[in-house]
Amino acid sequence: MTPSPLPPPVRSVVGPDALSASGLGRASQCPLSAALDADPDAPRLPVHPRALYGRVLHRLVEAAARGQVDDRDGFARGARRAVDALLAELPERTPAPQRVLGALEWRRRRADAVAVARSVAGKAPVRRGASAPARSPDRPEPWTVADGRWTEVVLRSDVLRVTGRADLVERSGDLVRISDLKTGSPTTSDGTVRASVVLQLRAYGLVAAERLPSARIELRVVGTSSFDVSFNEGDRDAALRTIRSVSDQLPPSRHVSAADLARPGAACGSCRHRHRCGPYLASAPSWWRDGEDFPFPLDLWGTVESVRSGGETSDLVLRDPTGRRVRVAGLRAALARDLEPGDALFAFGFDEPTGRRGPSWRPAPLVLRDLDPDTGAAAWSLAVFGPPLPDVPPLPVRSPAH
C-alpha cells in the first residue's frame, strides 16, 4: 500500500475542561501533549502492544480487588484464566505477548501481576444484588460519608481542573488512604518512585483534601514492592504549583498556539501525537545525529535513496535531514509498498535496540529494523507516512527544551 500523507502539524489546541491526573507528569514537561491527549478525535500513533498487555494486567488487579477472580481451584490458576480472557478481548491483530516480550519475560510479568492481585484480593468487593443507581451530581461520594473500601474511584476537582480514577480508596474514621496499584516497576533506576506517579497521587490527595479538609490523607503505591508517598504541606504546595502552571497555559475552551505549548524533549518518547508536532519534527533529527541526555523516540524520515524488495518486506536506504544515510531493514509491505528512490518517507516507532538506555542516549543507530524474519520480532507500533500534502505550510518552531 502507498503510505498515507503525513498529517499536517497541529496549529492550535483548545484548553480542556480538566487535566488528567495520570498525565500531569508529561503535561508539566509538554502542555501540548496534555491538550491533545484530552481530545478524543486527535489522530494518534499506534499504541505499542506492551501497553496493551500492561492494561490487561492492571485490569486483573482491579478485578481481584473487587473479589472478581474465580479462585475455586486456587487463586493463581483463576488469575491466569482471567488474564487469558482479558487478552482475548484485545484487538484481533494484537500479537501474543510471548511473541513481543518473549515467553520468559511474559511469564515474569504475569507472575508479578498475579502476586499484586493476590495482595489486594477482596479489598473492595462489589455489592451483591441489584446494581447501584446512577449517582446524582448532588449525591456525595460514598468515601466522603462512610468508612469502607472502593475501587476505581473518580476524583475530580473543578477548582483544580483535575480529574482521575484512583485504583483504591480506603476510609477509616478521619483517615483516607489512596493507593495506586502497579503491575510493573513504579521506580526509577535509583529506587525512587517515578515523579509522574508521585504527582498523580498528590493530585488525588489534593482532591481528597478539598472534599474532606480535616482528613488525614495517606498516599501509597502498591505493587510487588510498596511505597508510601509523602503528602506534607510542602508536597501539597509543590503539586499545586505544578498543576496551576499547566492549567494556566491551557485555559479551558480557549484556543492556544501549539507552537507556544510544545516542549520538544523527554516527553516526546511517550507522545502519540509527535507526528503532528512541528517543533518535534524540527528538533528530532539533531537528536538522532548527536544523541541527547533524555530517551528520545526512534523515528526516521527523509528521502529514499535505494529500495531492495524481497516479497513481503523491503530494505531501504534513506537520507535523513542531517545528511545521515540510514538503512531500514525488513520494512513490511503492509506498511509501505511501491516505494521508489526520491520518495519522501516518515516512520515513527522503531523499537529500541538492546542496551540503548542509559544516563545519556547515544546517537540513533544507522540501521533500524522492522520485521526480523529469523526471530519474528517487529517494530510492533511502527507507523509509516508519505510526504505531507503540498499545500501544508511549515509550522514555526521554538528551541528545544531540555
Does 304 lie in the same domain as 187? no
- Domain end position, chosen among 227, 249, 271: 249
Domain count, the chain: 3
The stretches in the chain having pLDDT less than 50 are: 127-134, 354-359, 394-402
Residue 303 within a domain: yes
Q: Cα 222 to the chain's mean position, in Å?
A: 19
Q: Give the pLDDT confidence score for residue 399 in this predicted structure.
A: 35
Residues 198, 150 share a domain: yes
CA distance 182 to 5: 38
Structural domain including 196 reads 142-249
Residues 178 and 277 in one domain: no
DSSP 210: H
Q: Is residue 23 part of a domain?
A: no
Asked if 199 and 104 sit in the same domain, the reply is: no
With respect to residue 17, please indicate whether it lies within any of the assigned structural domains.
no
pTM of this structure: 0.89
Whether residue 292 is found in the same domain as residue 355: yes
401 in a domain, yes or no? no
State the distance between the two ends of the chain, measured CA to CA, in whole angstroms: 38
Q: Is 208 among the domain residues?
A: yes
Whether residue 188 is found in the same domain as residue 210? yes
* pLDDT score for 351: 85
244 & 307 share domain: no
> The domain that contains 308 carries what CATH number?
2.40.50
Amino acid letter, 211: R
Give the domain CATH number at 150.
Answer: 3.90.320.10
Same domain for 376 and 264: yes
Q: What secondary structure does DSSP assign to 238-276, as a single string?
A: HHHHHHHHHHHHS-BT-EEEHHHH---SGGGGG-TTGGG
Quick check: is 126 in a domain?
Answer: no
Residue 304 within any structural domain of the chain: yes
pLDDT per position as a tens digit, 59-102 = 999 999 999 999 999 999 999 999 999 999 999 999 999 999 99
| Residue 167 and residue 104 in one domain | no
Residue 23 CA to residue 188 CA, distance in Å, equals 17
Domain shared by 355 and 285, yes or no: yes
Asked if the structure places residue 378 within a domain, the reply is yes
Please indicate, yes or no, whether residues 362 and 287 belong to a single structural domain of this protein: yes
* Packed helices 49-65 and 103-120: angle between N→C axes, nearest 10 degrees: 20
At which of 222, 249, 276 does a domain end? 249
Go through 120-130 and write b for each residue having 16 or more CB atoms within 10 A of its CB, e for each that does not. bbebbeeeeee
